[in-house]
Structure 1
């Protein structure tokens, strides 16, 4: 007997369960995650993305130097992508029945990365690269922690992680070019 032969559904039971707690929306009885913990983790990631947007925006406008125009444009692109990550995280928090925490109060404390003000182009690249490396490690740990308990959240995090890795790769290249 193959693995696919073991797949059995009691559609009557699934229909009955779907009618119970219908106000829970997408969160059905088969959900295995700890909703409170996952919402907390997602809100911390949301804070991190918002801090990254602000840092990238600052660096976009403050970049000066010979190669500043191209790097400033890259910072702007990264800011937009980080904002997209924030939107995805906020949407998932709402799907899980939570409220995304966009409050500026305590934003820096909730975030995993720092908002560091620096003056040179190379320092800007380095600080953004450090922040991306932090995000990569945190997202990897979140993916590991969630595992198969919440495949939808895991997929959102994996998609964001892939972009953060691209950002780190690009910034690493820029760091070498500006030395």
Structure 2
């Protein structure tokens, strides 16, 4: 006689889920959250600092790159600055969802950032600095994703998406050097 499967909803304890959901103080974080919130928020705040430093570096390069032949490079710097700002916004939102506080303190941004700020005046040096910073960000995100594992799928997906964009940025900078 063939085995009958129970519908998926029968495998979920709906009553327990509804009861736990009444604890509204934790917002989006439910009882099933398996991540170490403090550690994840700390990692995200360092990532936030990194993205903000990258915004500032790309903006500086955009405004200080000179020469008629560098118009397309300047445009690339500005586009990357806006995308890094979007990453910072996404990370700050996730920190708040995890009941943390996004750290925008300008006094500690550079110390908390994985990437460095750059004051280069030469266009080639600017591109190299951006490529190095993108590579640093990629590796930092890879390590964060590895540490989070399956304990926080939402944060993991966020970081995977950001890392993919950082890989595109690295390719863009490498292409500009060629």
User: What is the TM-score when the length of structure 1 is the normalising length?
Assistant: 0.92
Cross-structure match for 2:29: 27
Match of 1:13 among 5, 12, 16: 16
Question: How many corresponding residue pairs?
Answer: 174
Cross-structure match for 1:135: 137
Cross-structure match for 1:75: 77
Contact 1:65 1:121 in 2 (8 A): no
Determine if the alignment matches structure 1 residue 120 to structure 2 residue 145: no
Cross-structure match for 1:54: 56
Post-superposition shift, 1:66? 5.5
Q: Secondary structure at the match of 2:86?
A: helix
| Distance in 1 between residues matched to 2:52 and 2:176, nearest whole Å | 23
Post-superposition shift, 1:10? 1.2
**Runs of 5+ consecutive residues of structure 2 not aligned to the other structure:** none
Post-superposition shift, 1:17? 1.7
Cross-structure match for 1:170: 172
Query: Residue by residue, what CA displacement relative to the aligned partner does 1:5-41 show, whole Å, maximum 9, x if unpaired?
Result: 795211111112222x321111111000000000000
| Distance in 2 between residues matched to 1:152 and 1:31, nearest whole Å | 10
**Runs of 5+ consecutive residues of structure 1 not aligned to the other structure:** none
Q: Secondary structure at the match of 2:102?
A: coil
Cross-structure match for 1:110: 112
Cross-structure match for 1:42: 44
Aligned CA distance change for structure 1 residues 6 and 135 (closer, same or farther; 3 Å): farther
Match of 1:97 among 71, 81, 99: 99
